[in-house]
Amino acid sequence: MQKRILAIGIPNLPESINQFSWENALIENVNISDYDIVLINFSSLPNFKEFHPETSENHANYIGQRALEKMLLKQKILDALNANIQLFFFIDYDYRAFNAITKFSTFNAFDENGEMINVINSSFSSYFEKLKKWNLCFEISPEVELSYLNFDKEPLAQNKAKKLLGVKLHNFRMSAIVLDTNEENRIGIPGNIFILHTLNDELDKEIPKILKNVCEYSLEKEEPQWSKHIGFEKLNKINENIEKLKQSEIDIQISIRNEQRAYEKLNEYKKLLWATGHSLEDIIHLIFNQDLHFQISKPQQGEDDGIFEFNSTTYMVEIKSGETRSAKFDELSKLIARIHKLKENIPEQKVKGIFIMNHFANFPLSERRAPFSSQIKDHAKIEEIILLTSAEIYDIIIDYLHEKISRENAIKKILNKKI
């Protein structure tokens, strides 16, 4: 829908915007309520003497100020807001702008300058990037004497001292006393006021961006509906290619995610070669559950490191590690004792043990000594306990993941391991 836009004191804008010089705006007493969006650049307001060279400066200021106040009467501003107009004031340190703003607020301006700007509302990022140096900051709040008018404020940009360089005034409320009941009603006013530090010569270039980013209105002519239905072979072919490429992009993204997961998984499995303690237990449990489908139970503190059943046999697992040592016989003895206890409780159940060791974990595999002593091997053979190093599990599971062996063969290599 076409919007009526008024700009005062901002030359070189697109033709679709009604543009007035300050002199013409004051002479014609432009009615701001006739428009949907009003842009007023106070920083380009010249000395009133230029409008009335034939009279004294004091008289020229009197005439000019009267004309300005007539165009921006408090009631005219309220009428414009009530008509849902978006009103923009671009200001620098000029009392004539302050007079217009103080008609509906308490406004304090500070004649300061600086370069640091904190943009709070991203819709104005482009605008304040153009403001290389500011020479005005301000504070604003509802006018105490106008107790019937209130509003909320949203900072758009501030300096480091949190004084404003830009603000949005919105949610205007006007109170009205209902005479019959003496109760107060709050009447909502839909329009907004934006007060921004001016950009001077750069302002005209930023106006289209403000209209698009803030008012959601583009000055570019939109393609009519009848034109959107016009197609031709080349256009349709390009559109088909775009859709195919979009699908290819989706497939590529899926492939990338799958490869990333595979990479992370293989990298995680390298822990079998160097991890100790609970970290080693966790990675072995992950492999037994996810890859070999053993459904091993969680480790029990002070007891076994997990139990699972496979082909009518219960397997009791013990996982040990040493950074600078091989397996200890008493570690195997504890597993043997638990197996005997389980057999006593359930005599008919076939029970075997799996003793897993990551030996000399701080050293490369080629520099490690033997993981199991002859004493451990002899007792493991008697008790039908499988002896495995975590490095052997690593080799088996990598062959499985690389599809060199099947899951069934991977399981056989673990459960049928000979001492």
> Which residue segments constitute the domains of the chain, with CATH numbers given?
5-213 (no CATH), 269-415 (3.40.91.30)
Give the chain's radius of gyration (CA, Å): 40
Token pair listed for 324: 């600078």
Specify whether the CB–CB gap between 335 and 321 falls below 8 A. Answer: no
Rounded to whole angstroms, the Cα distance separating 31 from 16 reads 18
Can you give the pTM of this predicted structure?
Answer: 0.55
Specify whether the CB–CB gap between 198 and 41 falls below 8 A. Answer: yes
Token pair listed for 42: 């106070």
**Residue 315 parent element (H or E):** strand 313-321
Rounded to whole angstroms, the Cα distance separating 225 from 220 reads 15
Rounded to whole angstroms, the Cα distance separating 112 from 102 reads 20
| pLDDT by position in tens, the chain (length 419) | 689 999 999 999 988 899 999 999 999 999 999 999 999 999 898 888 888 888 888 888 888 888 888 888 888 888 888 899 999 999 998 878 788 788 778 899 999 999 999 999 999 999 999 999 999 999 999 886 666 788 999 999 999 999 999 999 999 887 754 444 455 455 788 999 999 999 988 899 999 999 998 998 887 777 777 777 776 677 778 888 999 999 999 999 999 998 898 888 888 899 999 999 999 999 999 999 999 999 999 887 767 799 999 999 999 999 999 999 999 999 999 999 999 999 999 888 899 999 999 999 999 999 999 999 999 999 999 999 999 999 999 999 999 988 999 999 999 999 999 88
Specify whether the CB–CB gap between 391 and 365 falls below 8 A. Answer: yes
Specify whether the CB–CB gap between 277 and 287 falls below 8 A. Answer: no
Strand 164-178 relative to strand 183-189: parallel, antiparallel, unpaired? antiparallel
